[in-house]
Structure 1
Amino acid sequence: MAPKHYDAVLLASFGGPEGQDDVLPFLRNVTRGRGIPDERLEEVATHYRAHGGVSPINEQNRQLKAALEAELSARGIDLPVYWGNRNWSPYIPETLREIRRDGHRRVLAVTTSAYSSYSSCRQYREDFGVALRETGLEDELAVDKLRQYFDHPGFVRSFLPSLSEALREMVAAVGAEKTHVFFATHSIPDADAAAAGPRPLAEALREQTGAEPGEQNGSDVYSAQHLAVAELLMAMVEEGSDVGWSLVYQSRSGPPSVPWLEPDISDAMEQKVTDDGVEAAVVVPLGFVSDHMEVIWDLDTEAAETAEELGIRFVRTDTPGTHRDFVAGLVDMVSERLAQLDERPERAGMTDLGPWFDVCRPNCCAKVMRDGTVKPTTSAVDAEVTPPESLR
């Protein structure tokens, strides 16, 4: 997109409960429209209830907001930062009302998702469009979204210190040949992965690999982005040349009859121990920005328990959080879009897949519905597609 004179930044995230009484209402928000009974939601609620009903994601976003404000101020960029969530307070609509009350008109949204899929990319844009419509601000406020940043140097480099330290520790203990790095990300349905597009890139990857969408070799764009970053990180760490690695998935949900991206991290660890005699697992939460509940439960709890049962060493590396490289990288990408700056940074990307698009291409990050049809991606709720005439 051409640079614009933005006057506010919106940090947009998933949201999470902040007490035991919030847990079920939060999970109802997350699963709205799916008809999931409270009895089934309580199975997931145990993850939160074991931690006092509090998800760490909200406090992490408060810290990230403060870090963004500090970095913008240090660069002399006069932009206020607001925060809004998809599934818990502060909700995106109420934050947009606050932004408008404060007199702002053009908003640039930074989301806490780095990769391309419906829930991590396009759904945020739809959320902004729906929120503008619900609040009656369609003709008063414009909201654009920052590009996906999976291979931006700031995001990639924020994983390096912790990964290097973990590899040094494990290689010293058991040797490189007995150490394996598991790059973990959120699983999504195979059909959603196939629809993540953009279609031309997905087709090109499929032609190169000869594989169908959903296979681990990255024939879908979602997996391909993760694999590209994982390969890059292993090449960047001194200890990575002789250590094996693989991409694994976690946090799948839904009926077993619906295929999701595999292998599951616990299954992958067991196979590596059985087939290759692996004695140490280094788990990198590559698909996540912060230590929210799915990282704490699925990795720090369940995957760690699997490693203990297998009798192998286990270490989980850091998420970007408020790492200085990550925060600086986000502000770099904000700066790319600011017309008011005399000098803007180049659109940086460290893999052949990036830098990613500022605006989603037609049919990318599509949502596959329960009946197998693909949700249209050019509706009026796509806020960047048809900005109000008064704000063009």
Structure 2
Amino acid sequence: MTYDALLLVSFGGPEGPDDVLPFLRNVTRGRGVPDDRLTEVAEHYYHFGGVSPINAQCRALIAALRGELSVHNLHLPVYWGNRNWPPMLVEALQRMRADGIKRSLAFVTSAYGSYSSCRQYLDDIAAARAAVGVDAPIIDKIRHYFDHPGFITPFVEGVKAALPHMPSNTKLVFTSHSIPLSMNEVSGPAGARYTEQHAEVARIVAETAAPGVDYDLVWQSRSGPPESKWLEPDVNDHLALLAQGGTEGVIVVPIGFTSDHLEVIWDLDNEAAKTAEHLGMAFTRVATPGTHPAFVSMVRELIAERTQGAPAQHLGKIQTFDNTPDGCCPARRPPIPSR
């Protein structure tokens, strides 16, 4: 297949205090989320001046990708569209059409399969194409990449760097965004649940970076009503249990995230770090891939899979797809992320 562009698709985030509540209302439109809940989440953004780091991180990734593609003589212009805040997907596709782009690959800043991390992006791309109308470019999403070496390597390096500075009785705590149990039951390629995909990544990172060190997979950033069932345990609750069991230190590895956006720097660097301090445990948090050279190269390698028939790279045993199959990750109400 021949492509004439690459589209970076991300979540989006506010870039000033006046953007925060409109952004959150955009994220939760049609879901009946009360303003008092949105106001509570908004305080996380105001703590950082009303700016989510995610847009700046997308700009940095785009700059790195352009350099990577140029070095390897891949002459693909890179566009950018978000689901929830400018630059919006519709605007990106309008620019692409004006530039004569006919068919583009899309790299989504979410490595896993589930409704909110995969299918919803596909639905939003389809809606943007419909809104652009005649001659809207065809967009093909790049596959899930949770077990690609380029995604795994930054976490492995981070764990290896952190271990020598931690107490002997230290555990690895892998984290990702919690989702409703009903969403987990139907998410993922070939029947692989969201939890199973993460468990595979945790296993690979732990066995590669710290063989013999105990590890757990936990969840964070739950945002649903108290009566609904979401994935547990919460990272803060789990830290308390570890402290009761005599664990002296934790290395938190945020495998659910591609960059250090608000759910990482607030929920982990602020809330979880304070929990660990209160419990008297040493705490360190491994960086997300961001613009790590292996991660940037991974995007180029995923492009090569589609355009040149390059062999797919997998470190795990769970099947992923080049073209995401119809019916994958059926719709369920997504969580309310704060990114």
Which range, TM-score by smaller chain?
over 0.9
Is the partner of 2:70 in helix, strand or coil? helix
- Residue number in structure 2 paired with 1:73: 70
**1:6-30 CA distances to partner (integer Å, 9 max, x unpaired)?**
0000000000000000000000111
AA partner of residue 255 (structure 1): P
- Residue number in structure 2 paired with 1:126: 123
**1:34-60 CA distances to partner (integer Å, 9 max, x unpaired)?**
122322211000000000000000000
**1:287-340 CA distances to partner (integer Å, 9 max, x unpaired)?**
0000000001100010001001101100001100000000001110011111xx
- Residue number in structure 1 paired with 2:164: 168
Give the gaps of 5 or more residues in structure 2: 335-339
How well do the aligned residues superpose, as a CA RMSD in angstroms? 1.3
**1:317-366 CA distances to partner (integer Å, 9 max, x unpaired)?**
1100000000001110011111xx5xx42111110104x11223343211
Q: Is 2:327 the counterpart of 1:363? A: yes
User: 1:235 & 1:369 partners in 2: Cα distance?
Assistant: 34
> 191, 205, 224: which is aligned to 1:201?
191
- Residue number in structure 2 paired with 1:260: 230
Contact 1:118 1:367 in 2 (8 A): yes
AA partner of residue 312 (structure 1): M
- Residue number in structure 1 paired with 2:148: 152
- Residue number in structure 1 paired with 2:14: 17
AA partner of residue 323 (structure 2): V
Q: Trace 1:97-112 onto structure 2 (pairs within 5 A).
A: 97-112=94-109
Is the partner of 2:252 in helix, strand or coil? strand
- Per the TM alignment, residue 185 of structure 1 is displaced from its structure 2 partner at its CA by 0.2
User: 2:111 & 2:43 partners in 1: Cα distance?
Assistant: 27
> 279, 282, 286: which is aligned to 1:313?
282
Q: Is 2:219 the counterpart of 1:223? A: no
Q: Is 2:272 the counterpart of 1:281? A: no
User: 2:35 & 2:136 partners in 1: Cα distance?
Assistant: 39
- Per the TM alignment, residue 67 of structure 1 is displaced from its structure 2 partner at its CA by 0.6
TM-score by length of 2: 0.96
Deviates more, 1:228-237 or 1:63-72: 228-237
User: 2:33 & 2:226 partners in 1: Cα distance?
Assistant: 15
Contact 2:10 2:83 in 1 (8 A): yes
User: 1:53 & 1:39 partners in 2: Cα distance?
Assistant: 17
Same amino acid, percent of matched pairs = 51
User: 1:363 & 1:152 partners in 2: Cα distance?
Assistant: 23
Is the partner of 1:337 in helix, strand or coil? helix
Number of equivalences: 334
- Per the TM alignment, residue 234 of structure 1 is displaced from its structure 2 partner at its CA by 1.2
- Residue number in structure 2 paired with 1:326: 295
AA partner of residue 217 (structure 2): L
AA partner of residue 71 (structure 1): E
Q: Trace 1:4-83 onto structure 2 (pairs within 5 A).
A: 4-83=1-80
User: 1:289 & 1:352 partners in 2: Cα distance?
Assistant: 21
User: 2:216 & 2:92 partners in 1: Cα distance?
Assistant: 40
AA partner of residue 212 (structure 2): D
Contact 1:197 1:363 in 2 (8 A): no
Q: Is 2:214 the counterpart of 1:244? A: yes
Give the gaps of 5 or more residues in structure 1: 203-220, 371-392
Contact 2:306 2:322 in 1 (8 A): no
- Residue number in structure 1 paired with 2:271: 302
Q: Which has the larger radius of gyration?
A: 1
- Per the TM alignment, residue 369 of structure 1 is displaced from its structure 2 partner at its CA by 5.5
